[in-house]
Amino acid sequence: MSHQCAGSAELARLAALPADDAERLEAAACPRCDSLLRAQAAFLAGDPSIPADEADRARAALAARLAELAAKPAPARRLRPSPVAVLPVRRVRPAVPRWAWGAGLAATVALAILLGAPDGLRPVRPSGVLRGGAGATALDLPVAIDVDQGTGQVRLAWPAVAGATRYEVELYTSDLDTIGAFTATGEPSVLVDGAAFGKAGPAGALCRIRAYRAEGAAGASRLAPLPGR
């Protein structure tokens, strides 16, 4: 049976399945589904490098904005007269997965900070790392690219990390849409289909590399744009 990529509403359910579940294994074998699940896991994991006072101010901004929205009266609805009796329609709110609530709350925090929060709350300076970012061990891994004009494949290469046996490469567009996640074992390089980058090509796409040793994670590079050729 051919694989059908999961929709956004299915990601939370797939992520909750055991690692050896048949559906989870099928999703992991698909580059698109696997990269979406990885991106979701990275987002939910959070970024421990964000300062505590910055997180506290963001939570305060969210609470203030929600309180402001809740205090506003609902707009009056005007109903047109009808010659027949109209039964009230029961509105059923669709179920929303947990991760979608997290994304919505994050967007509300950003909106509250941009609009300005009360009680002297000032916009905070961004920390420069994405949620689920590099963490405590930051590695300097400049990436070089080489495009095969015949096949269109793009080779990404970076300096080897001492003792590393595996690398995880995450690629995003400049708008932070996921391009894909790739695994390299041994050699510090991967081959990516050039079509994955779209018309803009690899230059300017964002890349982060995570290095792993046999005993665990060795560190990760900052999210940075790929160089031009």
Per-residue pLDDT tens listing for the chain (229 residues): 577 787 766 777 888 888 888 888 888 888 788 878 887 777 766 666 667 777 677 777 777 777 777 676 666 666 565 555 555 555 545 444 544 445 454 554 444 444 444 443 344 333 344 444 444 478 999 999 998 888 889 999 999 999 999 999 999 988 888 999 999 998 999 999 988 888 878 887 899 999 999 999 999 999 889 987 6
Query: Which distant-in-sequence residues (6+ apart) come within 8 Å of 117 by Cβ?
Result: 60, 61, 64, 65
Plot region of 51 (φ>0 → left; ψ -120 to 50 → alpha; else → beta): beta
Q: Are 35 and 178 in contact (CB under 8 A)?
A: yes
Q: What is the pLDDT, as a whole number, of residue 11? A: 73
Q: What is the pLDDT, as a whole number, of residue 186? A: 82
Q: What is the pLDDT, as a whole number, of residue 81? A: 56
Q: What is the pLDDT, as a whole number, of residue 104? A: 53
Q: In DSSP terms, which residues pair with 189 in a beta bridge?
A: 157
Q: Are 188 and 177 in contact (CB under 8 A)?
A: no
Query: Which distant-in-sequence residues (6+ apart) come within 8 Å of 37 by Cβ?
Result: 11, 14, 15, 27, 28
Instruction: Report which residue type is found at 82.
Output: S
Q: What is the pLDDT, as a whole number, of residue 199? A: 82
Q: What is the pLDDT, as a whole number, of residue 143? A: 93
Q: What is the pLDDT, as a whole number, of residue 175? A: 82
